Chains A and B, each alone.
Chain A
Amino acid sequence: MCRLAVAFGRFSNAREVLTSIGASLVRAASMDPYGRDFLSEERHSDGWGVFLLSW
């Protein structure tokens, strides 16, 4: 199945916060110990997406 992240707020360092969360999601999708143990699904390889909105 999938891995996800939702982040929102008024961050003084939005660039660092969101790119770091994005990088963590990339790593989670490339090697997921929980997915391996539960579904024999170590990688999340079937696409990705993002919706970003700023005001």
Chain B
Amino acid sequence: MVGVFSFSVGKSSALYHRSVKPIFVDNAVDVIEGFLSNVGGDDAVLAMMHARAASTGTPINIFSTHPVRAETTDGYELYMIHNGSFYRDDIAREVGIDKEYAGRFNDTYIANLALARRVKDDINRDDLAWLLRFVRTGANLGIALVRDGLVTLIVGSYYRVVDDEKKIFRERYYRLYQCELPGGFVYASSTVIDFYSPNFVGNCRVLSNGEYHKYYIYGDGMIKFDESWRFQ
């Protein structure tokens, strides 16, 4: 099953594509390249990409495939990609989502739906702190709140530290890199950078556990770093 949504307003354009096929047997790079064929050299771009391995017992369907999307009460679009897991039923209970309804979706879908009900015209530190209360294992996140001519982008990493025999492997797995490129940034999971990084990607640093960054991306293409947040 594939879900595709695209739109173009003025100079801006967007593509939202999801598939329940494995990314390595699908045509992911072609999808990305197809969109970029219409992007000019001086255009600003945002890309949120995700490959899923569903946790045991969680649904595999198009709704639970990331990026998940929800609409805020003010009509803005909220997209989320996630590595880790939340306590889905606790979130649903907190915001009054029916448990049977929530059971049709994975934790990230419900988390994004709940966040969309909470945020108004921006995502602030309290919103993320609220969401992180429900972390089961980890919350490496990319979140984009899309308004007309303005995007708030949140990217960062948090995972629960457990002092067990898997501690070192857990850190390696949840490690999130921030890499600076000419003209922009890449944030990526550890495997992407440590094993398969493109040659031109360098100048990377590992985010601290609990470190999140907030950016504004404006309709004229200007990108502004706003804040860095630290959570325990």
Per a CB cutoff under 8 Å, which of A11, A44, A46, A50 touches B48? A50
Give chain A nearest CB distance to B1 CB in angstroms: 9
Residues A23 and B29 in contact, CB atoms below 8 Å apart: yes
A37-55, CB < 8 A from B: 37-39, 41, 43-55
Contacting B20 at CB < 8 Å: which of A1, A27, A37, A47?
A47
CA distance in complex: A10, B48 (Å): 15
Q: Which residues of A contact B64 (CB under 8 A)?
A: 47
The reply to whether B82 and A43 contact each other, CB–CB distance below 8 Å, is: no
Interface residues of A in 3-55 (CB under 8 A from B): 3-30, 32-35, 37-39, 41, 43-55
Q: How far is the CA of A28 from the CA of B62 in the complex (A)?
A: 21
- Asked if B196 and A24 sit within 8 Å, CB to CB, the answer is yes
User: What CA separation (Å) do A41 and B80 show in the bound complex?
Assistant: 22
CB-CB nearest in chain A for B215: A8
Interface footprint category on A: 35 or more
Q: Which residues of B contact A51 (CB under 8 A)?
A: 14-17, 46-48, 67, 69, 79, 144
Asked, given contacts A3-B83, A49-B67, A53-B151, whether A27 binds B169 with beta carbons under 8 Å apart, the answer is no
* Min C-beta distance of B134 to chain A, whole Å: 16
B219 within 8 A of A: yes
B43 contacts chain A at the CB level, 8 A cutoff = yes
Q: Which of B20, B38, B82, B200 contacts A2 (CB 8 A)?
A: B82
Tell me whether A19 and B191 are in contact in the complex, defined as CB-CB below 8 angstroms, given that A1-B53, A24-B196 are known contacts: no
Chain B nearest Cβ from A10, distance in angstroms: 5
Among B48, B82, B173, the residue within 8 A (CB) of A34 is B173
Contacts of A43 in B (CB 8 A): 22, 24, 53
Interface segment out of the listed B88-96, B110-118, B124-132, B181-189: B181-189
Contact A26 B186 (CB under 8 A): no
**Cβ–Cβ contact B36 & A19, under 8 A:** yes
Interface residues of B in 52-108 (CB under 8 A from A): 52-55, 60, 62, 64-67, 69, 79, 81-85
List, sorted by A's number, 16 A–B pairs whose CB atoms are closer than 8 Å: A2-B82, A6-B48, A8-B223, A14-B36, A17-B186, A18-B47, A21-B49, A26-B24, A29-B24, A32-B191, A48-B28, A49-B17, A51-B16, A51-B47, A53-B144, A54-B36
Which residue numbers of A lie inside 8 Å of B, CB to CB? 1-30, 32-35, 37-39, 41, 43-55
Interface residues of B (CB under 8 A from A): 11-24, 26, 28-29, 31-33, 35-39, 41-55, 60, 62, 64-67, 69, 79, 81-85, 137-138, 140, 142, 144, 146, 151, 153, 155, 166, 169-170, 172-173, 181-192, 194-198, 200-201, 215, 217-221, 223
Question: Nearest 9 CB-CB pairs, A to B?
Answer: A9-B184, A48-B23, A29-B51, A49-B18, A30-B24, A20-B198, A47-B65, A38-B169, A28-B191
